[in-house]
Structure 1
């Protein structure tokens, strides 16, 4: 039996385990995801799962990483559907794709960006170089950097940003060769703003005030684009 065959068989088993975990998440929420439940669905003993994942934490981390990769592919595809377009339309297409994916996959969104499931100690390590949420955000950073290269990015005075943010962003800046602090600030502010309104909608925190959350999102998106660029961009 070749090592290549064993590796393929193991990879297939790992993928199936993560697929079952995702199905349980969608059907029953985070509390439904457990090694015992997964093993029952797969006709395995719980101890057999430890051949593939050392703990529930590791399994959830694997599922979460796959979901961020899926979301990243969706937002990147939205960006690439507008080849040659200005950065603003591409950014807005990515934001709309991000929201659409989240609304279609609410349970998965909660696992990725909400509190950890019962029995799981915490989320992904933000110090890791391949920290998945940051990897998704990098595609947004690229378009904001392109806005800056075209002289179309509006930011606060650099002195204000440096005085307040430079010490806390120095390490992150060191890994972003060629990008100035105002661009990083614009990206982080945009990411927090977009994620905030999308998460509030998906987690149901806007229903008390808004009956048409899509209209609110589109209005905020145009407002965001106008403030980012300093022009009267209408979102078309």
Structure 2
């Protein structure tokens, strides 16, 4: 459901966007909780100056216009949180989201050999490309370790009944 149509996901997986710093108290529930969480990570990385953000002038003019128009129509959380200067971060987020969504969909629909998926090679390659696209290539090994430790800890807590 994390990747479902936002209209369908809203009915079954509501989460408060304010918890991610995307809306004030009393704001609407996010239609896609995982996307909101993922967006919150990009906003936080941008706010801390940890990612290499392309300037709006560095984006293709047509792309820049589409993103700007899209953001203004929907009250995009990136624009709300970062202003128009956040368009480069919005673009990086959309690219990362497409990579993540794409790799999951080819796995779900069996478009890549099970052995290749089981090896994590496709996922890891796409995530490394995502890290490189935001200027975090040097952090991959450290952050993959944090991710594995978190997953192991969560698994242990589930097994212990917490």
User: How would you bin the TM-score normalised by the shorter chain?
Assistant: 0.5 to 0.7
Partner of 2:88: 182
Partner of 2:158: none
Structure 1 residues 201 and 170: alpha-carbon distance in aligned structure 2, compared to 1, 3 A threshold:
same
Unmatched tracts of structure 2, length 5 or more: 1-5, 21-27, 146-162
2:67 pairs with 1:164? no
- Write the deviation string for residues 145-182 of structure 1: whole angstroms up to 9, x where unpaired: 11111211123443131613222122432323142211
2:33 pairs with 1:149? no
What is the TM-score normalised by the length of structure 1?
Answer: 0.41
What is the TM-score normalised by the length of structure 2?
Answer: 0.57
- Write the deviation string for residues 101-153 of structure 1: whole angstroms up to 9, x where unpaired: xxxxxxxxxxxxxxxxxxxxxxxxxxxx87834x5312211111111112111
Instruction: Give 1 or 2 for the bigger CA radius of gyration.
Output: 1
CA contact (8 A) 2:54 2:89 kept: no
Name the SS for the 2:50 alignment partner: coil
CA contact (8 A) 2:107 2:117 kept: no
Give the aligned CA root-mean-square deviation in angstroms: 3.4
Structure 1 residues 144 and 63: alpha-carbon distance in aligned structure 2, compared to 1, 3 A threshold:
closer
> In structure 1, what is the Cα distance between the partners aligned to 2:115 and 2:47?
39
Structure 1 residues 131 and 147: alpha-carbon distance in aligned structure 2, compared to 1, 3 A threshold:
closer
Aligned residue pair count: 120
